[in-house]
């Protein structure tokens, strides 16, 4: 496998294309196969090939070099500058070369590309073709996530949160007490949050989605479910609990709901349920259900 610098010369006009390859034979086959099907990446070389034909193009090895470090790109840069391959009068090279293989567009190239595309519009025929090719095709959103890796600012997050909070829900929400009496009828999440003086939407969603979930001793239910006679299943843990002293068995504090008790103790609801089930004593305090204390 030979590596080095090669040239593709047009015998009809004497112009040449200079490049480097780690496998010269493979690179030669790639160039001529793309030229043959009219899909070469270099438009100037492709136009010349279409005009003069295959027999007028010759592939030659200029020099052989080992594929180590930046030897190949640095030698390509040397030969392109020596033979002025980027000059349209003598060569077909378009992209600028670099001895360290770092490609960077010049200001002239950027300006030229910008002016070329400025004011460009697709014809109606092209638009129709593009539309037909895309019709019926499913777009994979996962592969084209435009905001992947981007971090949203606090202002933007607050704006989105406000829009979602004030957004109207699917149906009216009824705030009920333990006896299923309607205390208030609301339409937005914001009104529910203001009523209970909480800031998390998850509280509302849990109460609406779980038929046995309550918030501060109250229930939330959609109006259509209430009119259809839907009942809230009572939790096996009950709704009210109290804290008692383990040694004296005297009731210290009573709560209307488990949520209220968990908030008072600054623990998660799952931790509270675990302590009730296992009768865990902490700081000489025992948490039990109100019905067990009364009995």
pLDDT tens for 155-179 read: 888 887 776 655 555 577 888 877 7
- In a domain, residue 136? The reply is no
* Whether residue 269 has pLDDT greater than 80: no
pLDDT band at 219 (very low <50, low <70, confident <90, very high): confident
Please report the pLDDT score of residue 40 as a whole number. 92
Highest mean pLDDT among 10-24, 100-114, 215-229 belongs to 10-24
- In a domain, residue 135? The reply is no
Q: Determine the average pLDDT of the residues in 220-246.
A: 70
- In a domain, residue 255? The reply is yes
18, 74: one domain: yes
Query: In this structure, is the dihedral angle defined by the CA atoms of residues 73, 78, 83 and 84, taken in order, positive or negative?
Result: positive
In total, how many domains does the chain have? 3
Please report the pLDDT score of residue 46 as a whole number. 94
251, 206: one domain: no
- In a domain, residue 161? The reply is no
In DSSP terms, 255 is beta-bridged to 241
Q: Could you tell me which residue, 62 or 278, shows the higher pLDDT?
A: 62
14, 85: one domain: yes
pLDDT in tens, 244-264: 777 677 777 887 777 778 878
* 32's tokens: 């001529």
Q: Is 116 helix (H, G, I), strand (E, B) or coil?
A: helix
Please report the pLDDT score of residue 49 as a whole number. 95
- In a domain, residue 274? The reply is yes
Please report the pLDDT score of residue 164 as a whole number. 64
Which phi and psi (to 5°) does residue 242 adopt?
-145, 160
Please report the pLDDT score of residue 260 as a whole number. 77
- In a domain, residue 58? The reply is yes
Q: What does pTM read for this prediction?
A: 0.39
Counting other chains too, the contacts that 183-190 makes at CB distance below 8 Å and 24 or more residues apart are 183/218, 185/223, 189/164, 189/165, 190/165, 190/166
CA distance 126 to 131: 9
Q: Which domain holds residue 14?
A: 4-106
Q: Average pLDDT, whole number, for the chain?
A: 80
Q: Domain holding 20: CATH number?
A: 3.40.1440.10
Q: Domain holding 176: CATH number?
A: 1.10.10
What is the rounded radius of gyration, in angstroms, for the C-alpha atoms of the chain? 38
Q: CA–CA distance from 75 to each of 78, 105, 143, 161 (Å)?
A: 5, 20, 39, 58
pLDDT in tens, 197-207: 766 666 666 66
Q: Determine the average pLDDT of the residues in 118-129.
A: 87
31, 76: one domain: yes
* Whether residue 195 has pLDDT greater than 90: no
Q: Is 105 helix (H, G, I), strand (E, B) or coil?
A: coil
Structural element, H or E, at residue 172:
strand 168-176
Percentage of the chain surpassing pLDDT 90?
24
- Residue that the structure tokens 């001793």 belong to: 217
Domain end call among 106, 130, 156: 106
Q: Could you tell me which residue, 171 or 142, shows the higher pLDDT?
A: 171
Q: Could you tell me which residue, 57 or 216, shows the higher pLDDT?
A: 57
Highest mean pLDDT among 56-60, 91-95, 173-177 belongs to 56-60
Please report the pLDDT score of residue 239 as a whole number. 60
CA distance 248 to 232: 36
* 268's tokens: 């998660």
pLDDT band at 105 (very low <50, low <70, confident <90, very high): low
Please report the pLDDT score of residue 115 as a whole number. 83
Give the range among 6-10, 114-118, 124-128 with minimum mean pLDDT: 114-118
Structural element, H or E, at residue 48:
helix 43-52
Torsion angle defined by CA atoms of residues 109, 114, 115 and 120, in that order, rounded to the nearest 10 degrees: 140
pLDDT band at 92 (very low <50, low <70, confident <90, very high): very high
Q: Is 10 helix (H, G, I), strand (E, B) or coil?
A: strand
Q: CA–CA distance from 70 to each of 21, 80, 191 (Å)?
A: 12, 16, 67
27, 84: one domain: yes
Residue 235 near residue 216 (C-beta atoms within 8 A): no
Structural element, H or E, at residue 76:
helix 71-82
- Residue that the structure tokens 């843990």 belong to: 237
Q: Determine the average pLDDT of the residues in 275-286.
A: 81
Q: Is 61 helix (H, G, I), strand (E, B) or coil?
A: strand
DSSP code, position 91: B
Residue 168 near residue 187 (C-beta atoms within 8 A): yes
- In a domain, residue 143? The reply is no
Which phi and psi (to 5°) does residue 88 adopt?
-60, -20
CA distance 67 to 3: 6
- In a domain, residue 150? The reply is no
């Amino acid at each position: 496998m030979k590596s080095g610098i090669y040239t593709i010369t047009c015998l009809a006009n004497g112009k040449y294309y200079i490049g480097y390859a780690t496998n010269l034979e493979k690179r030669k086959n790639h160039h001529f196969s793309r030229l043959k099907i009219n899909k070469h990446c270099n438009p100037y070389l492709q136009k010349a090939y279409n005009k003069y034909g295959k027999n007028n193009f010759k592939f030659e090895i200029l020099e052989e070099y080992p594929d180590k470090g930046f030897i190949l790109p640095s030698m390509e840069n040397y030969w392109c500058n020596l033979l002025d391959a980027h000059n349209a009068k003598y060569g077909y090279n378009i992209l600028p070369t670099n001895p360290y293989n770092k490609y960077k567009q010049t200001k002239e190239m950027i300006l030229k590309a910008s002016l070329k595309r400025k004011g460009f519009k697709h014809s109606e025929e092209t638009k129709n073709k593009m539309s037909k090719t895309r019709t019926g095709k499913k777009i994979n959103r996962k592969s084209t996530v435009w905001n992947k890796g981007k971090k949203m600012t606090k202002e933007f997050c607050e704006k989105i949160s406000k829009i979602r909070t004030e957004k109207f829900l699917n149906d009216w929400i009824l705030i009920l007490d333990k006896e299923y009496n309607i205390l208030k009828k609301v339409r937005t999440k914001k009104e529910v949050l203001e009523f209970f003086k909480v800031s998390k939407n998850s509280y509302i969603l849990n109460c609406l989605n779980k038929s046995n979930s309550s918030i501060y001793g109250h229930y939330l239910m959609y109006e259509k479910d209430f009119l259809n006679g839907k009942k809230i299943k009572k939790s096996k843990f009950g709704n009210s609990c109290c804290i008692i002293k383990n040694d004296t068995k005297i009731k210290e504090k009573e709560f209307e709901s488990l949520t209220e008790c968990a908030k008072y103790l600054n623990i998660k609801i799952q931790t509270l349920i675990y302590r009730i089930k296992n009768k865990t004593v902490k700081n000489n305090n025992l948490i039990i259900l109100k019905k067990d204390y009364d009995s």
